[in-house]
Amino acid sequence: MKKILAGVALVGAVALTMTGCATNGGNGGGGGGGDDVITVGFAQTGSESGWRSANTESLKNALSEENGFKLIFNAADNKQEAQIAAVRSFINQGVDAIVIAPITVDGWDDVLKEAKDAGIPVILEDRTVSASEDLYASWVGLDFQKEGELAGEWAVKNADGANLVVLEGTTGSSAALDRATGWSKALEGSTIKTLDSQTGDFTRDGGKKVMEGFLQKYGSEINLLFAHNDDMGLGALDAIEAAGLVPGQDIKIVTIDAVHDGMQALADGKFSFIVECNPLLGEKVAELVKKVVAGESVDKKTIVPDQTFDQEQAKEALPTRPY
């Protein structure tokens, strides 16, 4: 009799556990809504830069318990296989929605189809993918190609005829690909000469190491640097100063992001020009998640506007800069 009662108790406990899970997901993934807590899995690229840290913080704040969410967070350390594994884990856990900042554009078709088959809507934030648009609900982010164009337009106007080196972002990422496309478009017809272009993987350490190699190879022949983000530019700045050159004078530095350290370098005259890439996407992502989980229609694409900064504009903006 004791064994029978224990068995009944165990079945009851399992049933209660399953009922508790179902309050978050309704009848399977994507079934949240009303006053239920929405469980969201967020697959972040990693923590490679100051921009990424600000982006993560924005998402965590927006997808907080006080805002009606339960957030399951994973940072993939810039390894796509780890990021895809995290998404599969979210699917297996039966989350209500998945948010992804995809490391690279390719390789997402299978796991996105798995999420769709499970009835779990996916929101892409920051970067994009090459997979069919019907495999995800929406994307919110920045116009990376326009950022590259704005950076290139400044270079043509202020440094035409210069010898250029480029620090590229993570190979295969939409940010790196699109910024390179925009930059090249802006430089068409100019006399800027590209000496070299290599990836620094969006990291400060990567930017420093690659710039050290450029300086060893080309020396003072270099007088213009385009870095796909501030962190690589800041690493390159250290290498330039270590080589006895003056950043902002001997070598003009153009970057993208406008995080605090980059803006300080611009205000100090070490950077020459920055195109903003706003990392504060959390509130828009949270709004989209609530709508898709409730079954509402949403725009397929949302572009957040950017700004540009020169030295004086950076000085003015820094005291109230939120990131």
Q: Does the pLDDT at position 20 exceed 50?
A: no
Instruction: Tell whether the torsion through CA atoms of 192, 195, 200 and 205 is positive or negative.
Output: negative
Q: Does the pLDDT at position 164 exceed 90?
A: yes
Which carries the bigger pLDDT value, residue 50 or residue 173?
173
Cα angle, residue 52 at apex, residues 305 and 66 outer, rounded to 5°: 85
Give the pLDDT of residue 139.
Answer: 98
In the chain, the percentage of residues whose pLDDT exceeds 90 is 86
Give the pLDDT of residue 50.
Answer: 87
What does the alpha-carbon distance between residue 254 and residue 138 come to, in Å, rounded to a whole number? 31
Give the lowest-confidence range in 45-54, 75-84, 161-170. 45-54
Give the pLDDT of residue 6.
Answer: 37
For 202-216, b/e burial (b = at least 16 CB within 10 A) is bbbebbbbbbbebbe
Q: Does the pLDDT at position 32 exceed 80?
A: no
State pLDDT tens for residues 34-78.
468 999 999 999 998 889 999 999 999 999 999 999 999 999 999
- Report residue 259 as tokens: 């995080």
Give the lowest-confidence range in 4-18, 115-129, 269-283. 4-18
What does the alpha-carbon distance between residue 100 and residue 82 come to, in Å, rounded to a whole number? 12
Give the pLDDT of residue 45.
Answer: 96
State pLDDT tens for residues 86-98.
999 999 999 999 9
Region 235-261 average pLDDT? 97
Band of pLDDT at residue 143, cut at 50, 70 and 90: very high
Q: Does the pLDDT at position 8 exceed 70?
A: no
Domains present along the chain, CATH in parentheses: 31-142+279-304 (3.40.50.2300), 144-277 (3.40.50.2300)
Band of pLDDT at residue 322, cut at 50, 70 and 90: confident
Give the pLDDT of residue 284.
Answer: 97
State pLDDT tens for residues 295-316.
999 999 999 988 999 999 999 9
Q: Calculate the CA dihedral of residues 221, 275, 131, 139 and round it to 10 degrees.
A: 170
Please, which residues bridge with residue 39 across strands? 70
In the chain, the percentage of residues whose pLDDT exceeds 70 is 89
Provide the angle, in degrees to the nearest 10, between the axes of the packed helices 230-242 and 204-218. 40
